[in-house]
Amino acid sequence: MKLVQTFWYSPDRPTGGWLHPAYNLMSWALSCLQLRQFYDNVTLITDEAGKTLLIDELGLPYTDVQVVLDDVLAQYPKPLWVVSKLYAYALQQEPFLHVDGDVFLYEPLPTDLLTAPLLAQNEEISDYYLPYLTEMDRAFSFVPPAIRWRQTTLHQPISAANAGILGGNDVAFLRVYAEAAFDFIEQNRAYFSTPQPQLNNFNILFEQYLFSSMAAYHNVPVRYVQSPNFQLERPCFEDAPRFQTYLHPIAPEKKVYQTCQHVARRLQLDYPDYYRRISTLSNRRFVSPAQSPLYPLFASSPAPSAPPISWTLNGQRYLQQLIPVLPDASPLPDLPDVAALQASDQATYIDEREHYRQHMAAQTNPPDAVTLDRRADACLRADLTDFDRQRFVLSDDILVIDCQWNWALPIELVFLPDAFDEHVSHQARHLLEAEPKSVKICIEPDWDTRMLVETPYEDIVDVATLEVFNEPHTVAEAFGQLRAFFGPDFPEYESKITKRFRRLVRQLVARRCLVPVEHTATP
């Protein structure tokens, strides 16, 4: 079956939803290269700028390139990026699957799915669509008959087809659907002619919701690659390729630093030549030392030998707001005692973190990050039995601080300054009102960028797992320790605990927090 990808480049939106433009290009490269592992017919539909980037400069191995989007994109507001995909659907004359540039396949799709009339990634059953459907009913001058029929006839939970993958063998239906989507947009031009702060969010109505509505209206069956609400869980790159063969980080995940690093490192490990090309291109086109905290990762020349390790969390600005009770915060029981305990807990955390920061910043000969990644990757590629026999221990290069409250802040907020204060206020209030409990905050150096990454662990399985690996254990031994930790109640929750434990161990190995016992310290 023919596979299609659609890429367009906008100078005022070069990131494509990712944290940084280089990650956008790395995502496209990794997605394309993985598709070409399994399929011989992969077409790129793009504009002139997209062809220059992906084909002329990066040399991605698409089997066909169609430069047809410049005129199409010029006719619509830039937030309506979905028109590029709709146009790609309308162009097709044979069975096809459109694959987004942030979908990563590690095995071919099941052959029985390739015979389906219609195919999509997964069914989304969610009230997320509700505010946009409500605004559609209020303000749109035209709504397609299939949507009206669905609203008035099918009394079901709101659902849509996620278009990470979308296509099928019913090419006639797909063409009619694409034409209906363009008509949906055209007949509501008046609404889009004035600035709309949520305009970007209507893309899901024109594509995903309309697709599932028309399929139901015309009684055309849809098969799905994944189970319903597949994307509610964070994509686990550490599980690929042995334990997870389909990855698709949704929009918020593309701004999470660890997700971006997983994509970059996977590309660097499996396709080092393309990684170098993107690093060089990014250094030339997108970044300079003064513009980006990610500069060392993408520099085409070596970074300075010992740049200062910077805090990714903008921590002091955050922490200063926590102990004073925020305006209008609800009163707490025994507030003076709670506040004093919190202040002591916070002070211990800050003190330990600062000593660690100074120690890591003084490292003048940091390890080769690629070597560390290859070592971790070799461990993760073992089959389950061999993996269980491997012996790991917490690396000497990380710091685990025991706290009673979670003093770490989601890393992505540093890159969303406009939203920072609102999120900080919400989290500060939540933290002030939280009861004390066991929290482990894992601080690790990212040797590529010379930044520190803080990850809090509050779930009891996570806390117990970190505790066990203070000493060297095989994975099987550690799980035995966990079984003893939970005592007689373990069998009732064994399935859930086993899944969480194994995922956490693989995650820690991938991040080089758990290392083989013969490699416990910085080389």
Helix (H, G, I), strand (E, B) or coil at 166: strand
Q: Are 175 and 95 in contact (CB under 8 A)?
A: no
> How many CA atoms lie within 13 Å of 2's alpha carbon, on the beta-carbon side?
19
The phi and psi torsions of 231 (rounded to 5 degrees) equal: -90, 5
CA distance 443 to 399: 5
CB 322 within 8 A of CB 431: yes
H/E/C letters for each residue in 398-447?
CEEEEECCCCCCCHHHHHCHHHHHHHHHHHHHHHHCCCCCCEEEEEEEEC
Place of tokens 């509501």: 188
In whole angstroms, what is the distance from residue 312 CA to residue 432 CA? 23
Alpha helix (H) residue ranges in 116-170 = 130-139, 145-153
**Residue 298: what pLDDT?**
60
Going from the C-alpha of 490 to that of each of 231, 478, 501, the distances in angstroms are 29, 14, 13
Q: What is the DSSP letter of 93?
A: -
Tell how strand 514-516 and strand 399-403 pair up: unpaired
Quote the pLDDT of residue 392.
97
Query: 378: buried, middle or exposed (CB in 10 Å: 19+, 13-18, 0-12)?
Result: exposed
- pLDDT per residue, tens digit, the chain (523 aa), is 999 999 999 887 888 888 888 899 999 999 999 999 999 999 999 999 999 999 999 999 999 999 999 999 999 988 899 999 999 999 999 999 999 999 999 999 999 999 999 999 999 998 889 999 999 999 999 999 999 999 888 777 899 999 999 999 999 999 999 999 999 999 999 888 877 767 888 999 999 999 999 999 999 999 999 998 876 566 778 888 877 899 999 877 887 777 888 899 899 999 999 999 998 888 788 765 444 545 455 655 444 444 555 544 444 444 444 444 444 545 544 545 667 788 788 888 888 988 898 888 888 787 888 888 899 999 998 888 899 999 999 999 999 999 998 887 654 444 444 444 555 556 666 666 778 889 999 998 887 777 788 888 998 899 999 999 999 999 999 999 988 888 787 777 788 888 889 989 999 999 899 999 875 555 4
**Which tokens belong to 463?**
């806390």
- Give yes or no for a contact between 123 and 224, defined as CB atoms under 8 angstroms apart: yes
272, two tokens:
């080092």
Residue 112 main-chain phi, psi, to 5 deg: -65, -25
Closest CA to 202 of 188, 222, 216, 218: 188
What pLDDT is stored for residue 155 in this prediction? 73
Distance, in Å, from the CA atom of 399 to the CA atom of 237, rounded to the nearest integer, reads 23
**Measured between alpha carbons, how far is 261 from 369 in angstroms, rounded to an integer?**
12
The pLDDT value recorded for residue 429 is: 64
How would you label 388-406 residue by residue, b for 16+ Cβ within 10 Å and e otherwise?
Answer: bebebbbbebbbbbebbbb
Whether residue 295 contacts residue 288, with contact meaning beta carbons closer than 8 Å, is answered with yes
Helix (H) / strand (E) element for 492: namely: helix 490-510
Let me know: does 446 contact 261? Beta carbons within 8 Å. Answer: yes
For residue 394, list its beta bridge partners: 514
State whether residue 396 is helix, strand or coil. Answer: coil
**Is residue 125 a contact partner of residue 159, using CB atoms and an 8 Å limit?**
yes
Report the alpha-carbon distance of residue 178 to residue 315 in Å, rounded.
Answer: 47
Question: What residues form DSSP beta bridges with 4?
Answer: 43, 98
pLDDT at 476: 94
Q: Are 133 and 158 contacting, i.e. CB atoms less than 8 angstroms apart? A: yes
Question: Which positions ≥6 away from 462 have C-beta within 8 Å?
Answer: 440, 500, 504
